[in-house]
Chains A and B, each alone.
Chain A
């Protein structure tokens, strides 16, 4: 059974870069069967799709974040990463990594990690 686990700093200063990693176990991100996505959720609010990466390295991003987001794969470590630059308080949220079957049906999720943007 696949498991996903987010890791990274829980506190980021305004204007700096948020960096998170999702480590995948129980499945190979190189298998080509799935897309690998990031989704975030501000406290008490709904879900926002950030973007995704495919085995080939091709990416798709939410236009609302596209200028600030990079999602990449590290197949040697079986993990994928999120970088979000120039963060503000509005980027404070729980960040989830997720596996997308059929592209974007998220059938497995990490537990989520809270990232707070504050000085």
Chain B
């Protein structure tokens, strides 16, 4: 199985901050990487697919980059609604796997 390791696992930041979350794959996955946002009690929401393509309707302050084994999700200016948990997911090979999550909280 391909392991995805997110860092940090927990992040405290303020509104307006720029934050970056990293996802590292245990082997190369090209750009077969997706990012989701999950709020408490809710289903995950697709943010970015193919490592860097913004899903329709997602604010442009979200961006993704990377290929191979290292990927990043950046939020350019945190808004109150961005405080949530973020997961990466690989679809390069089966089984599909997710990172352990990064919890983003208000400082």
Q: Which A residues fall within an 8 A CB radius of B?
A: 46-49, 60-64, 96, 98, 101-107, 109-112
Task: Kindly report which residue of chain B lies nearest to residue A52, judged by CB atoms.
Answer: B96
Give the contacts of B69-107 with A (CB-CB under 8 A): 87, 89, 91, 94-101
Instruction: Give the size category of B's interface with A.
Output: 20 to 34
**Interchain CB contact under 8 A, A111 and B49:** no
Known: A46-B87, A47-B87. A104 touches B96 (CB 8 A): yes
Task: Kindly report which residue of chain B lies nearest to residue A111, judged by CB atoms.
Answer: B43
B55 part of interface (Cβ distance < 8 Å): yes
**Interchain CB contact under 8 A, A47 and B91:** no
**Interchain CB contact under 8 A, B43 and A62:** no
**Interchain CB contact under 8 A, B43 and A112:** yes
Task: Kindly report which residue of chain A lies nearest to residue B91, judged by CB atoms.
Answer: A104
**Interchain CB contact under 8 A, A46 and B43:** no
> Interface digits, B25-39 against A, CB 8 Å rule (1 contact, 0 not)?
000000000101000
Known: A46-B87, A47-B87. A106 touches B98 (CB 8 A): no
7 additional contacts (CB under 8 A) given A49-B95, A49-B98, A63-B95:
A46-B98, A47-B98, A48-B98, A61-B95, A103-B91, A104-B91, A106-B46
Known: A60-B94, A105-B34, A107-B55. A46 touches B46 (CB 8 A): no
